[in-house]
Structure 1
Amino acid sequence: AVTIGHNGHRWPDADPIRTFTLVDWNGIHAMSITFCRCKIPDGQCGKPEFQQLLRAGIFPGSVKEPQTGYTLGLLECWRQLRSQGKVSAYNFVLVLQRMADPFFTGLVPV
């Protein structure tokens, strides 16, 4: 599981591990993630989940209990492709599915 906060080290006050969908420029990935719940004021600790994700370079799909996140690199890639290549959102998602699994795109979480 990926731990958000504490430089990636699991902490005793971490949330239970849960499934998270991470969308990056190289595809859509189902993964396990846990958030910090401790009260140590080190920048990420004790913050809401969406703030912990933003500090880790992941844009959350929602503010309350995010289950999906988009890397900032992906968002920059999308911005460039949209403005320079006129790529539609639909075609961009199709490419991400193929990057994750070129043969069984229907099994890739969307």
Structure 2
Amino acid sequence: MLLVDRYCVHHLPVRWCSCPNAACSDVQLLSNGLYPASQKKPQTAFTFVLLDDSLINNKECKIFVMTFYSKIWHVINSVFLHKVP
């Protein structure tokens, strides 16, 4: 699974709880502070910290989501700026 945070992106294996009364995968992510990119078979999730930062940047600083996205990629890839789109 691809997990995106404010300062890094992680590719991590995820094991869903398969207990008889276990919640579906998207609810399991939400319970652990991650917002899934999709409801069915999520393969990407974002931390609430990242989403809160995006909201504050948008509402208080009037920064568009695409600009915020660009900022995140520059922060994450600061060593390889020439490769950042």
User: Counterparts of 2:64 and 2:4 in 1: how far apart (Å)?
Assistant: 17
Structure showing the higher strand proportion among its residues? 1
Alignment gaps of 5+ in structure 2: none
Per the alignment, residue 37 of structure 1 pairs with 18
Per the alignment, residue 56 of structure 1 pairs with 32
SS state at 1:92 partner: helix
Structure 1 residue 65: Cα displacement: 0.2
SS state at 2:27 partner: helix
Q: How many residues were matched structurally? A: 83
User: Counterparts of 2:12 and 2:73 in 1: how far apart (Å)?
Assistant: 15
Per the alignment, residue 26 of structure 1 pairs with 7
- TM-score, normalising length: structure 1: 0.66
User: Counterparts of 1:70 and 1:94 in 2: how far apart (Å)?
Assistant: 16
Closer/same/farther in 2, CA of residues 82 and 67 from structure 1, 3 Å limit: same
Structure 1 residue 70: Cα displacement: 1.1
Kept in 2: contact 1:57–1:72 (CA 8 A): yes
CA-atom RMSD, angstroms?
A: 1.8
Per the alignment, residue 100 of structure 1 pairs with 76
Structure showing the higher helix proportion among its residues? 2
Letter in 1 for 2:39: V
User: Counterparts of 1:88 and 1:27 in 2: how far apart (Å)?
Assistant: 20
- TM-score, normalising length: structure 2: 0.83
Letter in 2 for 1:96: I
